[in-house]
Amino acid sequence: MTPKKSSSPKPLVDVDMDRVVQHTTFRVFRYSGTGDPPTYKEYEVPTKRGMTVLDGLLWIKENLDGSLAYRASCRMGVCGSCAMMINGKPRLACQTQILDLNTTVVTVEPLKNYPVIKDLVPELEPLFEKHEAVKPYVMRPGDEQELENPSGEFEQSPEELNEFIQFTYCIKCGICLAACPTVASDPLFLGPQALAQAYRYTVDTRDGAYAERCDLVDSAHGVWRCHYAGACTEACPKGVDPALAIQLLKKKVFQHRVLGKRRKVARVAPKPVGVSRRPNIPEPPARTVAKKE
Ligand code: FES
């Protein structure tokens, strides 16, 4: 296919032909979203050093086929939008260098284990529903006022923070669910993303809903369905290690259920003596989102 002339004065991906080191065939999954059977379409992408798979898709869209649909936003591995199957593995397209794949054929498909909306765009609703189901926020049963109108900061030591900080790096890209063999066989399984976040809040000392969250994940499609394949951890682009979080969560649920163990809840730190608020510090803005009842 000959590249069409772009009307945009500034191309999204500028490929200087003198610096092209190979021509890569992109085999792209195409699905119209109307129920017609999906097909694969091939595009030739001039590739220079440093080009990512996302750059290749942007170049195709800008120069060869404007009808190609995919998601992307930050182009720097932060937003998680560009997750897709690349040569059979779930990855972030913006973090995958074409030349690192060591091949001249790159097959690009939507994430596995999700319905497909169009082309490379998966329906991520199941991911967000499962995430929401584990109540991924700090709860203080019986002490809601402190969350609504804080009188100070909750006390938490660096050691307590280290217990869960690794699991806060999740960017909700959905890659771990696409890699998980248990999600493939049980679509209702909560999955590595939600379970890792359940663990993250279960061990956060500021949270007081330890028992409630343990009960939430102790179900037929919950924490015990994980067979520790470890595929989620291998695929996670942020080093979150959801498989580790799930095993630690199993231990917490056992301790709660069988040993009746409780966890201490952080208190509000005493106000420092002799310290006053610096002048001219602006007040925080008013809430912009209404509270869910
Ligand atoms: Fe944001 Fe790839 S575009 S993670």
pLDDT digits (tens, 9 = 90+) for 25-79: 999 999 998 989 999 999 999 999 999 999 999 999 999 999 999 999 999 999 9
17-122 belongs to which CATH class? alpha beta
Sorting pLDDT into bands at 50, 70 and 90, what band is 261? confident
Helix (H) / strand (E) element for 234: namely: helix 231-235
The mean pLDDT of the chain is 93
What pLDDT does residue 18 have?
Answer: 81
Top mutation candidate among 52, 76, 111 for ligand 1, by most atoms within 8 Å of CB: 76
How do strand 121-122 and strand 83-86 relate by DSSP bridges?
unpaired
- Please state the domain extents for the chain: 17-122, 125-257
What pLDDT does residue 174 have?
Answer: 98
What pLDDT does residue 7 have?
Answer: 57
Quick check: CB of 75 below 6 Å from ligand 1?
A: yes
CATH no. of 125-257: 1.10.1060.10
Quick check: CB of 71 below 6 Å from ligand 1?
A: no
Catalogue the E-assigned strands of 141-265: none
Look-up of token digits 């919950």: 222
Task: Print burial letters for 229-241: b (CB count within 10 Å at least 16), e (below 16).
Answer: ebbbbebbbbebb
Helix (H) / strand (E) element for 28: namely: strand 20-30
